[in-house]
Amino acid sequence: MNAKQLSPGIWHLAANISKDNLFEGLWPIPHGVSLNSYIVEGADIALIDLVREWEDAPKQLETQLKELGLEFNRIKYLILNHLEPDHTGWLANFKKRNPHIEIVTTKKGADLVREFYFIEDNIRVVKTGDKIDLGDGKTLEFYEVPNVHWPETMVTYEPASGTLFSCDAFGSYGSLTEKSCDCELSEKEHEFYEFESLRYYANIVASFSTFVERAIKALSDLEIKTICPSHGIVWTDRPQDIVERYARYASYYKGPCEPEITLIWGSMYDNTAYATDAVRDVLLESGITFHEYRVPEQDISHILAHAWKSQGLILGMPTYEYHMFPPMAHVIDMMGRKHVKGRKVFWYGSFGWSGGAEKELNSLIEQHKLGWDITGKADFRGRPTEEDIEKIKQGVRDFIKTVMESAKK
Ligand SMILES: Cc1cc2nc3c(=O)[nH]c(=O)nc-3n(C[C@H](O)[C@H](O)[C@H](O)COP(=O)(O)O)c2cc1C
């Protein structure tokens, strides 16, 4: 990518990380991810957020700074909105190249700079309402937004241009092309980034949804014309769209969620798979929006995205060694960790002799305080009989009604 001017004195820089990596060492990024940084130039120059030494990210950033004719020693301030290493991993080596740079971060951020990078000098601690005047009409204002998504997080606002540098808030997965602003994207490209923002939210931010709501409220008095997140596209045209989208995602924390169902199932010897065909037939007939995943073949990152927005979950799980099929237990455990709470649930599955899946399901619900409402179930021995299949079909029909009645209108 090239450095891109967003408004007079403000540039977007981005390092693209390829699909061959896992985000947070855990989440697949089949379409890559961007690490965004920004330059704000008044009489003094500030660089907002850094990159990690990940693939050639520092080199990409350095090349873009060169395009702007910016030597490192001309940058006076390095603003660290958030200390997670994807935005700071290069810090120690960057500082060696620019020893006089002043690092600007929150009090908790300063602690992390010391603890992660052993840097003690030239750190300016800021709190909500503090400002730095860069000269030539450019000012940076700071607002703490704790737990979006680490405790030290802040955002930076430049009032003359109405630009909010929001770090992880309002971000998404997906590498960037030269068309990195919302106003340049086709409907199809918007759809792509929309799902990548949902997946990013469900994987990274979901657990902190109440803090997201608090941050959106705290920032609501700012006149925001452009939103510059640390991952994904920049919102120059319709910044309210991504704010509304994030507010909607945050609302799924308490529910209700969308009138949709996520069907997740696994099967060793196709007995539960056979019953799944019946479940799918009913879902298709009903016309309800549903998302189907088989585990362990399909990844948890995508499952969480659809589960996060779905009012209904259907779980197909055979019994395995007196417990549920382990990949299903992994999915439910992850839903617990990511606070996919308060959903309507229907489950079905095959067992051989004593069963055991249900016991583990109840124990996971209890352990993670999931508050799931199990409105129906259909377990069966071995291969499902015609009667079993009828019971499953009727159960799913009833379940769809419950989901539609209780979902967001
Ligand atoms: C490794 C393994 C462990 C199993 N453990 C149990 C068990 O503890 N209790 C039980 O009732 N059935 C158990 N079964 C039987 C399965 O639950 C049964 O075969 C079921 O039909 C499998 O469904 P599927 O074909 O959808 O995988 C086990 C099967 C396998 C292969």
SS (H, E, C) 272-286: HHHHHHHHHHHHHHH
- Residue 133 CB less than 6 A away from ligand 1: no
Query: So what's the pLDDT on residue 1?
Result: 86
Tell me the pLDDT of the chain averaged across its residues.
97
Average pLDDT over residues 368-379: 97
Give me the pLDDT at residue 149, please.
Answer: 81
8 A C-beta contact, residue 357 and residue 323: yes
Instruction: Tell me if 276 CB under 6 Å of ligand 1.
Output: no
Q: What are phi and psi of 4, to 5 degrees?
A: -130, 130
pLDDT bin (cut points 50, 70, 90) of residue 227 is very high
Class of domain 261-404: alpha beta
* Phi, psi (degrees; rounded to nearest 5) at 125: -90, 130
Domain chopping of the chain, boundaries: 4-251, 261-404
Kindly report the protein residue whose alpha carbon is nearest to atom 19 of ligand 1. Answer: 352
Whether ligand 1 lies within 6 angstroms of the CB of 203 is answered as: no
Q: Which among 178, 168, 172 is positioned nearest to 64, based on CA atoms? A: 178
Find where tokens 């997740």 sit.
264
The structure's pTM equals 0.96
CA distance 109 to 6: 27
Looking at the chain, the whole-number percentage of residues with pLDDT higher than 70 is 100
User: How many alpha carbons fall within 13 Å on the CB side of residue 14?
Assistant: 30
Architecture of the CATH domain 4-251: 4-Layer Sandwich (3.60)
Instruction: Using the Cα atoms of residue 284, residue 288, residue 289 and residue 291 in order, give the sign of their dihedral.
Output: negative
- Average pLDDT estimate for 223-227: 98
Q: Is the pLDDT of residue 72 over 90?
A: no
- Ligand 1 touching residue 268 (CB < 6 A): yes
Q: Is the ipTM of this complex over 0.90?
A: yes
> How many CB atoms lie under 10 A from the CB of residue 340?
27
Q: How far is the CA of 325 from the centre of ligand 1 (A)?
A: 8
Which of 319, 358, 379, 381 for a ligand 1 pocket mutation test, highest count of atoms within 8 Å of Cβ? 319
217 three-state secondary structure: helix
Taking the CA of residue 325 as reference, the ligand 1 atom at the shortest distance is: 27
The answer, yes or no, to whether any atom of ligand 1 lies below 6 A from the CB of 351, is yes
